[in-house]
Structure 1
Amino acid sequence: MTDAPRAMRGRPRVGSPSLLEEAAFELFLENGYAGTTVEQISTRAGVSRNTFFNYFAAKSDVFWVGLDASIDRMAAVLDAASADTDTDDGVTPIELLRDALLDVADRLGPSDVPWVLTHFELIGSTHEVMASAIGRATRLSNVIERALGDSAPAAVSRSLSFACVAAVIAAMTSWAEAGPDRGSLAAHLERALSPVLAGFTAL
């Protein structure tokens, strides 16, 4: 009898982050988060431990593949919008920010909810997971604050960026809790974001 073919190890595959994410979630369901190691995730995905760390700085980063991509997209959209502000078309910074946030949110459909939001009872309130979430929130806040530039005093821009991040977190939570008929993130975000932006209409 011939041995079953083994996955190549030590060489990144196309889509390795997704493979590692899928392997991690399978193992978290089997062993729990704390009971799963990076080595086990790498082995399940058929890659080396070094390959894992080519894509992720820590085990908890596998929770945020889609969110990291969305923050990258958000930064690109806002950078592009900021570059166009010299053409005075009457669009305010608040309107640019709202449009950019909702544009990115509209690309996230029902199946794009971060796995950790629907399985948090399995993960538990671990410091590592919470720290990785806070890191993403801080990054998004920095993206928003940078995009606002000098359109408002620094303290106001910082307040707005923090408020927008809070709205995003609230929207993502309600989105995750809405079940399979949740639709895209955009509708949830618009409800959470509108009262926040209404308080900064002078910008």
Structure 2
Amino acid sequence: MTTEPRSGRPRASSREVLAEAACELFLEQGYDATSVSDITRRAGVSRSSFFNYFSAKSDVLWSGFDEQADAATARLREGEPVDECLAGIGEGLAPDALALAITNAVAMGISAELDRDRAVRQFRLQRELAARCVRDGMPELAAQVRAGALSAAVLAAVWAWADRTASGRPLVEVLEAALALA
């Protein structure tokens, strides 16, 4: 009995292949000129495969960060120390599509999109941090201010790290320095 080879890409690699294809296309033709169909054609996967991994084109860039931020907020809700939760974002985030987009934002024509998506992620993180601070007994206004500073520090660290990925400084170090400033 012979087994027919399976067609298509292995499921585990499709996310990375899609991100790579998207970044190539964003650099070649710009973000706005690149469609989901262009990305899936370049990656050699179906359009439905794209939507198995991402809900929108911009999510290709943010998927690694979103996974780390979601894990950090889950730990926040479980009561782990805030600094440890936020530092954890840096432990699992590798140079990826987001770092490439940050360093090549102008060439990709994605600066405005990155700014908008950065604000959304910063607010989501701020909301979770403020809720945690309130649960820990901090007054609402103080919680909002503290959470705003911490969430801004996280995103500022990601941007600073992306600009310096060639120097090899780990995100954890940049993140810890930024959190200390907040």
TM class by shorter chain equals 0.7 to 0.9
Matched letter for residue 165 of structure 1: S
Matched letter for residue 8 of structure 2: M
Residue of 61, 81, 84 corresponding to 1:99:
84
Deviation at 1:122, TM superposition (A): 1.4
For structure 1, list consecutive stretches of 5 or more residues without a partner in the other structure: 1-6, 83-95, 197-203
**Equivalent residues of 2:76, 2:82 under 8 A apart:** yes
> 1:25-40 residue pairs with structure 2 within 5 A?
25-40=23-38
Residue of 111, 127, 149 corresponding to 1:163:
149
Aligned to 1:86: none
Runs of 4+ in 1 over 6 A off after TM superposition: none
**Equivalent residues of 1:17, 1:55 under 8 A apart:** yes
> 1:75-90 residue pairs with structure 2 within 5 A?
75-82=73-80
Note if 1:65 corresponds to 2:63. Answer: yes
Matched letter for residue 104 of structure 2: H
Deviation at 1:38, TM superposition (A): 0.7
- Partner Cα distance (1:79, 1:104) in 2: 15
1:51-108: CA deviations, max 9, x gaps?
22232222111111110111111112222335xxxxxxxxxxxxx2112212332333
Which deviates more, 35-44 or 170-179? 170-179
**Percent identity among equivalent residues?**
36
Residue of 121, 129, 140 corresponding to 2:125:
140
Matched letter for residue 167 of structure 1: A
Note if 1:187 corresponds to 2:179. Answer: no
Aligned to 1:119: 104
- Partner Cα distance (2:54, 2:129) in 1: 24
Matched letter for residue 17 of structure 1: R
* Cα 1:102/1:33, change in 2 over 3 Å: same
Of Structure 1 and Structure 2, the greater helix share is in 2
Note if 1:154 corresponds to 2:140. Answer: yes
Aligned to 1:8: 8
For structure 2, list consecutive stretches of 5 or more residues without a partner in the other structure: 1-6
Matched letter for residue 23 of structure 2: F
Structure of greater Rg: 1
* Cα 1:125/1:46, change in 2 over 3 Å: closer
1:121-160: CA deviations, max 9, x gaps?
2133554443222221122112212322332122211111
When the two chains are superposed, the root-mean-square deviation of aligned CA atoms in Å is 2.6
- Partner Cα distance (2:165, 2:38) in 1: 30
TM-score, normalised relative to structure 2: 0.82
**Equivalent residues of 1:67, 1:114 under 8 A apart:** no
**Matched residue SS, 1:81:** coil
Aligned residues: 176
**Matched residue SS, 2:12:** coil
TM-score, normalised relative to structure 1: 0.75
